[in-house]
Amino acid sequence: MASASSLLIALLLQGQGPAPAPIRLSFADAVRQATGATDSAPPTVAVAGFRTDEATARVRQARSGLLPSLSVSGSWANRSFSTKAQGLSFPGLPTVIGPFNAYDGRAQVRQTLLDFSNLGRVNAAKSQVRAAGAEESAAVEASAQTVALAYARATRAQAVVNARRADSSLAAELVGLAVAQQQAGVSASIDVTRAKTQLAEAEGRLVVATNQVDRARIDLARSLGLDPETPIALTDTLSAQLGQASIPADRAAAVTQAIGARPDLAAELARGAAARTTASAISAERLPRIDLEADYGLTGVRVPDAVGTRQLAVQVTLPILDGFRREGRLAEQQAVARESDVRARDLRQQVAADVDGALLDLQSAAAQQMIATERLQLAAEEVSQARQRFKAGVVGNIEVINAQASLLRARDADIDARFAAVTARIALARSVGTARTLH
């Protein structure tokens, strides 16, 4: 006879077609996909890449002020004008001249010869590109951490399912033992009732754990930017090797590496540099600007009679006063630079705190694992001894049920300890800026 959990699962699957083959995904492959190293990248990483492209395009926009500009124009006009309005008054000169046609075709070239402000704007745009690149790297690190944690939660959920299946199997065995003891006349019927109650509870916990596995896989698919219906088969389990990364064992070396590798700190430093470069560009607006302009065209009252005309000019511009708008912009960028310096200083301290916290969690998780392993062994021995005493008819199965509850708690504690170790390793990798190297 099928168990209640098997019947429920069969009912849930009834009416559905054949499921597609699941995607086999290892922990290292998930992290690699989270960083955009494969053909598909999570939305957060893709968006960060587009922002870098936007910043790169702004460099070209800023550089355009230093490059030549070329334009062509053509016009036709039919006009007349008053000679008196032009200050012309000669005997015999008509009051109105025209109407007549006027044709004009012209090409203009303009080149900036010297503009310190524009040079500063180009350098500021390049600093913003570096900041955007660092922010993209920070997005990659955050994505790697998110996916790694989602994968770890999925393996934890699978470990819980395995534990609940073991609980159900043990409960089913105890039901069979209680029935055999009752039939042999050495056990009361209440022992059978207790055993069946424990089996029902175990199957209920298995249903809940199975649901958690499905939810964890949905979360993993979404963190990877996949359709939530995508079936995923995890090839790694919640083991002691899950979540390894290239991290120095020494605390000082880890902090040094973190300060040099953390992309969020690099992004903040780049933003501060961009603000200071922008401030320098604004200050340079007070300096003279030199432009060269050339103009050549054909003009006349008839196209066949058009003659060539030209103009060549050098223009020097010296800004004097713009209503103190320049000073306000300069003060704004200086405040932005000071704000960035404060954030960068705080981030350096946060980096050290993140490393210290992750190392403490890792040490605590290692101690928890040792305790949980010993506790699991003792709980298994307790169940074995309680079963022997019940089978011998010395006691009822209440001792077996209590021992079974202890074993359940011990299994959960072991899973929690292993999960805590994995999450601590992921946090440590993220704290030193190497989450993308998790494997």
In the chain, the domains with their CATH numbers are: 20-67+115-286+324-437 (1.20.1600.10)
Amino acid code (one letter) for 132: A
Pick from 160-169, 241-250, 265-274: least confident: 241-250
Instruction: Using alpha carbons only, give the angle 358, 359, 364 rounded to the nearest 5 degrees.
Output: 95
Predicted confidence at residue 13, as pLDDT, reads 44
Check pLDDT > 50 for residue 322. Answer: yes
- Residue keyed to tokens 């993220």: 430
Residue among 218, 214, 226 at smallest CA distance from 34: 226
Position 18 scores a pLDDT of: 59
With residue 77 as reference, give the H or E element that holds it: strand 69-82
DSSP assignment of 110-130: EEEEE-HHHHHHHHHHHHHHH
**Per-residue pLDDT at 12:** 46
Q: What is the largest CA-CA distance in the chain?
A: 146
Give the pLDDT score at 219.
92
Structure token digits, residue 389: 């005493």
Buried b (16+ CB within 10 A) or exposed e, 87-122: eeeeeeeeeeeeeeebbebbeeeeebeebbbbbbbb
Which contacts (CB < 8 Å, 24+ apart) does range 209-214 have? 209/157, 209/160, 209/161, 209/163, 209/164, 210/5, 210/9, 210/161, 212/157, 212/160, 212/161, 213/154, 213/157, 213/158, 213/160, 213/161
Average pLDDT, whole number, for the chain? 87
pLDDT of residue 37: 67
> Which of 409 and 396 is assigned the larger pLDDT?
409
φ, ψ (nearest 5 deg) of residue 358 = -65, -40
pLDDT digits (tens, 9 = 90+) for 40-82: 778 888 888 899 999 999 999 989 888 999 999 999 998 888 8
Return the sign of the alpha-carbon dihedral for residues 433, 155, 159, 208. Answer: positive
Query: 72 has which bridge partners?
Result: 107
Quote the percentage of the chain above a pLDDT of 90: 46
How far apart, in whole angstroms, are the C-alpha atoms of residue 220 and residue 241?
A: 20
Residue 119: pLDDT above 70? yes
- Report whether 89 contacts 141 (CB < 8 A): no
**pLDDT recorded at residue 211:** 94
Look at residue 429 in the predicted model and tell me its pLDDT.
Answer: 92
Which has the minimum average pLDDT: 13-27, 101-115, 329-343?
Answer: 13-27
Give the chain's length: 439
Task: Kindly state the DSSP code that residue 324 receives in the 8-state scheme.
Answer: T
Q: What is the pLDDT of residues 150-170, one digit of tens each?
A: 999 999 999 999 999 998 988
pLDDT digits (tens, 9 = 90+) for 221-236: 999 888 888 888 999 9
Q: Is the pLDDT of residue 8 over 90?
A: no
Angle (CA) 359 362 363, round 5° = 90
What is the tally of helices (H) and strands (E) in the chain? 9, 6
Look at residue 39 and give its three-state secondary structure: coil
Higher-confidence residue: 212 or 39? 212
Of the candidate ranges 134-148, 216-230, 389-403, the one whose mean pLDDT is the lowest: 389-403
More confident residue, 92 or 28: 28
pLDDT in the model for residue 303: 83
> Residue 302 above 80 pLDDT?
yes
DSSP letter (8 states) at residue 249: S
The pLDDT value given to residue 6 = 53
In the numeric block, the tokens 């009679």 are attached to 305
**Which pLDDT does position 19 carry in this prediction?**
59
